[in-house]
Each structure stands twice: as structure tokens, then as C-alpha cells.
Chain A
């Protein structure tokens, strides 16, 4: 059974997951070099699938590499680039190497990336992919063809608690949970009130027990990073006050960290939240500092 699954099912402590940086070359040494600084501080690591519609070393190979290097991978699968045949094949193929955790995403549009001329696929959507992946673990392709030795999978997904239509987001979380998602990594949200009502909505619908809610926080260094996110990342709004707080601070880097720390504390304090997902754009040891400041102890438990 995957370590992530054990943690989600036992809920003995907060879960820490993080996003793995993109890899474009340099062999497995490059993967190891990026992995080492984060490995002791996280329970599981996301192998991304062409994030923001940019081509990189793919989800499958990074997930396998992470696994072989001793990490617990969560393989993201997006719907933008491949149809159901290829998506199922990727999941089955990665599972041959022991990759169990799958995170199903709709995915950014091709126009978010550097190849806007590309054809978009979206043969399945996010919720459908959750159900299809769950079906693989139950021993059948979506066609109905039997898989005699079904893969052991632990399927999750994502949801954006901060993007309109806000009322719909909880319904969508319930839909995904019903389709088989056992964890939801929530999009970065700079509106604490929105995260609060989203999580409260999930709790009132009773899905937080079976589906671990993992809000995402983002480690940034500058006000420019926040402005960039606000202007270019679909579905993320960074309020002007928040941006001004960092831009007007004497030490923008420290202020950025403090902002992330506050957002993390707030997220973890919400009843129903099972842990946190961290995206690190600083790469300066802040991940370790954050995990320590939050008094999270993934490394000790894993040892």
C-alpha cells in the first residue's frame, strides 16, 4: 500500500506533499539533485504532467525516477494532451514500476503554454478521469476489457477553492470524491475566506473523512512573483493588498515567507484539512523552514 494512502487513511498527523520542479535533461543525476533538498521534508512528491502546457520530461518517467530514488511519487495525469487510451496506458505503465498515487487534472489550456498552436485533446475531463483510473484499479479498462492483474492505485485529484463559480466548487469536490478521489490537492488560494468556506462546505457534505483535503501554499520571494501569478496563472487571484504588503516591505523576501507561513497556518487550522501541499519557487531552504515552523514532522515519521 502506498505511504500516502496509509497517511490519508490513518490521519495520524498532517500530510505534507510538494510539487517536483520540471526536468528537461541532465539524466537521473538532475532528478536526484532536485530531490535531495526536499526529500526529508515531504511525505509525497508530485510528478507533474507538462505543467502550464509546457513540454518537459513527462509524468511517467519522473514518477518512476522519484520512486527509484526513494521518494513517494504522486503522478499527475492531465486531460489536455492525451486521449483515454494513452492516459490509461500511462497509469498502467507507471504502476508496473510501483507508482500507485495518481492525481487527475483537467489541465491548463494549451494557450497557457509556449505552444498555443497545439491541438487540445480533453477526451476525458478531470472527474471522468478519476472514475476511469479507479476502474483500472478495480480490474477493467473503461472499454470493459479485463485487467487480470489490476494495478494497485490510490487516486486523487485537484480542485480550485478560490475561482468562480465559488458555490459550484464544493459540488465539484463532492463529484470528484464520489468518482473515487481519496485526496484533493487544492489550488493556491490567496483568499483565506474562500478556502475557509470551501473546506467548511466539504465538511458539511461529509467528504473530508474519506477524501483528504490538502490546500496548496506557494513559497515566493518577491512581489513580482505574486504579480506574475496574478496576471498569468489561470484561476489564481492575488489581492492587491497582499501584493502591496510584499512590495512595500523592507525585506520582500522575508515578508513573502511570512505571508506563506500565515496562509499555511490558516489552512491547517481549518477543521477538515488533512495536510498541506507546497509549491516552492524559492529553492533556498524555505521548504525546510516552513515545515519546521509549522511543526510538521514528515521526515521523522517516515524514518
Chain B
């Protein structure tokens, strides 16, 4: 599996300046990588875009969202891409950094979001083990007792802004 991230980075790094966030959203951002934004903004431009459409932080660089806005209406794009452009993209999962988004796409891992993001609560999203079920609040467990955050898979269309 170490080979795949390397291969992915070689290809996408050259073409899109890929930063290996491991949860590629290029198709929904008009093939413009939001991780190249100095603020890594995945949901549109910040309020600091310069008059010439360039970046607040790097004046020599065109704002990636100015670029994306220009590309989004390209008739060559599939319709679904344009629709997804307007969706609210979830927060970056920092655990996926450096992993191959191709693998994560295939396994669905890149569409997993924290339970609360989709409006759910931990209590109603998992069936805790009996021992754990007796614990009222996992945060009250003794220090050193680690419970991995349970994750649920969210369909990409419900991850959008339309709730």
C-alpha cells in the first residue's frame, strides 16, 4: 500500500500540486485543489481576496477559488460536479493525511465524517459493547482507557448543505 500513495502523489502532485490530504475533493471543486489555499479552505474563498483575484497571503498566486469559480461552469464538466460544487464539504480528517485518497475512495473511508457532523449522536449511532454500555459518558472513563471515536459513513449527497 506504500506504493499507491507514492504513485498518486507522483501523478497528482505534478498536475494539481497535490498535498496528499487523503480525501480528494477535486471533482467537486472544479479540479482545483483547495489544500493549496494557504488557509486550506474547502468551502469557498475567504474575505481577503485581492482586487485582482489573487491571494491575500501570496500576492503572486491567483486565489484558488477565483480559479475554481472560472472553471466550475466549464461545459466539459459532468452535471453532478457543478451540483456538488455548492455543497458544504466536511472538515478535513487529519488522520488521513499522507494516505492514498484512491484507496480511501475505493473503501469509502474518505466519506466518513464524525457522527455529529451529520447531526447524529454517539448514543444512537452505535451499539456499545455491554461493558461500555454501562458507562454513562465515555469521557468519564479513567484516563488511559481509549475509546476510538465511532464513525459512520455518510452518503455524499447528505454531506451537502441541504439538510
Contact = CB atoms under 8 A, between A and B. Distances in A.
A164 B89 CA distance: 21
Contacts of A122: 39-41
B122 A146 contact: yes
Interface string A150-191: 000000001110011101100110110011000000010000
A179 B90 CA distance: 11
Interface stretch (B5-13, B19-27, B50-58, B101-109): B50-58
Contacts of A128: 42-43, 88-91
Contacts of A139: 121
A260 interface: no
A182 to B, nearest CB: 15
Q: Is the interface of B mostly helix, strand, loop or mixed?
A: loop
A196 interface: no
Contacts of A168: 44-45, 65, 69
Contacts, number: 151
Contacts of B45: 163-165, 168, 172
B57 A126 contact: no
Nearest to A108: B48
A290 interface: no
B48 A178 contact: no
A203 to B, nearest CB: 18
Contact of B53 (A84, A141, A160, A165): A165
A163 B123 contact: no
B119 A138 contact: yes
Nearest to A111: B57
Interface string B85-129: 010111110100000000000000000001111011111010000
A179 B88 contact: yes
A164 B48 contact: no
B123 A146 contact: yes
Contacts of B39: 79-80, 106, 109, 120, 122, 125
B48 A234 contact: yes
Nearest to B117: A142
Contact of A164 (B51, B57, B120): B51
A234 to B, nearest CB: 3
A111 B48 CA distance: 12
A143 B115 CA distance: 6
B115 to A, nearest CB: 3
B33 interface: no
Interface in B145-163: 149-150, 161-163
A140 B121 contact: yes
B51 A237 contact: yes
A248 B124 CA distance: 67
Interface of A: 79-80, 84, 106, 108-109, 111-112, 120, 122-128, 131-132, 135, 138-146, 158-160, 163-165, 167-168, 171-172, 174-175, 178-179, 187, 234-235, 237
14 contacts: A106-B47, A109-B57, A122-B39, A123-B91, A132-B116, A143-B115, A143-B149, A144-B114, A144-B121, A145-B121, A146-B122, A172-B45, A235-B48, A235-B56
Given A132-B117, A179-B88, 13 more contacts: A109-B38, A112-B48, A122-B41, A135-B119, A140-B120, A143-B122, A158-B47, A163-B49, A164-B50, A165-B45, A175-B44, A178-B163, A187-B47
